Amino acid sequence: MEARTTPAAIDNTTHMASNRMGRISTAVLTLGLGLAAAAMAAPQEPEIVAGSYVRAKDGAVVRNFRDEKGKAVTSLDAGTLLLVHTESRNYYEVSAPTGFPVWVFGKYLTETGTEGVLKVIGNGVRMRPLPESSVDSYPLSTKLNRDDLVQYIDRADSNLSFESDWVQVWSVPHAHGWVSSTDVDLAGDQGVAGKEWTDSLRGLVDVPVKVAPVAAAEPDNEAATDQDPPAAAKIPEEAYRSLAYGKTLLEGAMKKGKDAVEADFDSAIRAFNTVLAMVPETSIVATEANSKLMEAKAFQTSAATRETLAAVESRQAELVKEWAEEKRREALKKTELMGRFMGRGWVRKTGRGDDARYFLYWDDTVQEISCESGRYDLDMFLGYELGVRGMILRAASMATDDMPAEVSLLDVSRLEVISGSTGK
């Protein structure tokens, strides 16, 4: 006997297919989780980012700008500790806890009551790799400001007056230079490196004199015993480091432009607040930290506003999309084919035996159906409302003088019971 498919068999087949799909989905999910776990377990190369401590390799050179043609500021011993502030074109912008040897014009420096310690007496003073202001001696990006303390190294021409000569000094620790990314390695233990950095910070003492002497004069030691250093000069080296780090973080967040989010500015704001907690309110460092703090907060507010507006717009778009989809589904339910069938209607039969024919009736629409494959026994569906898909064997035609009108004929390959029998 030829196999026939009944409504119960269809339901059975559907459940079996669902079970198979469930098992396949579970297997795929398990495989995906396994691959993800393997990827997470794979060792990854540590990433050097702003705020990371690195150590110089043998022969590493600090330059005045990010290019191999940049002028060498200094050569580093292997293992020298550096702090990374930013990365650009395979170069890291770095600072050292003891600063870098640089050249400053003498007119912007004055001696203090401490031997070998000089004080800056101007703002925005440039530090250069050579004792000249030519193109070859392009200045470092960091500038010295009033009351900064630097350590004396040498003079370019002692025959000149101090004010007219170039003076080599150890810069402040927050001075920045550039080193090739291939010349440094990430410090193994960042916590230990941070403590080493703090312990290595160059601590200079400014004991002011009554009258600033010229280079050849001896410090006024008597004045040094009579006076204490003014509060404005007591700036911890950690404050310079936090200020520089905060600037780097702020620049990084600002580079994101409209993609920046509120949280991107949190680290910079914390860094500037740290500076303000460490320095006198009247100091230049405090003024700069306050300025940068206000700038960071302004950008953060702008980012927060953008986030809020974007969230509102996104939700509005989702609601419109959901509404449109709901309307589309409702409209499909009201259509004859429900958006997925090639034919729909109640099954009726005419004739018997080999002359039997099956039709779908839906309002004024009539369509003939067959099942050449024998997959479905159409007699089993008499009186049911079906939705069908398959192949059109005959298109509908109008009546002519020679031929009667014909409805379309669809050979059914798939069917779905929409509603039950009307009682045949």
- Asked which of 28-32, 202-206, 255-259, 348-352 is least confident by mean pLDDT, the reply is 28-32
The per-residue pLDDT for 341 is 85
pLDDT at 234 over 80: no
pLDDT (average), residues 220-239: 49
The per-residue pLDDT for 232 is 39
pLDDT at 1 over 80: no
> What amino acid is encoded at 20 in this protein?
R
Helix (H, G, I), strand (E, B) or coil at 179: strand
Query: Residue 280: is it exposed, middle or buried by C-beta count within 10 angstroms (0-12/13-18/19+)?
Result: middle
The per-residue pLDDT for 166 is 96
pLDDT at 67 over 60: yes
The per-residue pLDDT for 215 is 39
At residue 39 the predicted structure's pLDDT band, cuts being 50, 70 and 90, is: very low
Spatial distance between the Cα atoms of 277 and 390, rounded to a whole number of angstroms: 78
Instruction: Rank 72-76, 115-119, 240-244 by mean pLDDT and report only the highest.
Output: 72-76
Structure tokens, 240: 């310079």
The per-residue pLDDT for 19 is 53
The per-residue pLDDT for 310 is 86
**Cα 314 to chain centroid, rounded:** 20
At residue 224 the predicted structure's pLDDT band, cuts being 50, 70 and 90, is: very low
The per-residue pLDDT for 339 is 66
Contact present, 406 and 382 (Cβ < 8 Å): no
At residue 114 the predicted structure's pLDDT band, cuts being 50, 70 and 90, is: confident
pLDDT at 198 over 90: no
At residue 4 the predicted structure's pLDDT band, cuts being 50, 70 and 90, is: low
pTM of structure = 0.43
The per-residue pLDDT for 336 is 57
The per-residue pLDDT for 178 is 96
Helix or strand run (H / E) with residue 400: none
The per-residue pLDDT for 338 is 63
Q: Which residues on neighbouring strands pair with residue 316, listed in sequence order?
A: none
Contact residues for 252 (Cβ-Cβ < 8 A; gap 6+): 50, 86, 264
Longest dimension (CA), the chain: 133
The per-residue pLDDT for 24 is 46
3-state secondary structure 111-141: ECCCCCEEEECCCCEECECCCCCCHHHCCCC
pLDDT at 91 over 90: yes
The per-residue pLDDT for 243 is 86
pLDDT (average), residues 141-151: 89
Spatial distance between the Cα atoms of 424 and 421, rounded to a whole number of angstroms: 7
Nearest to 366 by CA among 341, 384, 348: 348
pLDDT (average), residues 94-101: 91
At residue 37 the predicted structure's pLDDT band, cuts being 50, 70 and 90, is: low
pLDDT (average), residues 331-358: 81
Spatial distance between the Cα atoms of 275 and 246, rounded to a whole number of angstroms: 9
pLDDT at 83 over 60: yes
**Mean pLDDT computed over every residue of the chain:** 80
Q: Could you read off the pLDDT of 42-53 as tens digits, one per residue?
A: 455 678 888 889
Rounded to 5°, the CA angle 106-107-110 comes to 75
Q: Could you read off the pLDDT of 289-298 as tens digits, one per residue?
A: 888 999 999 9
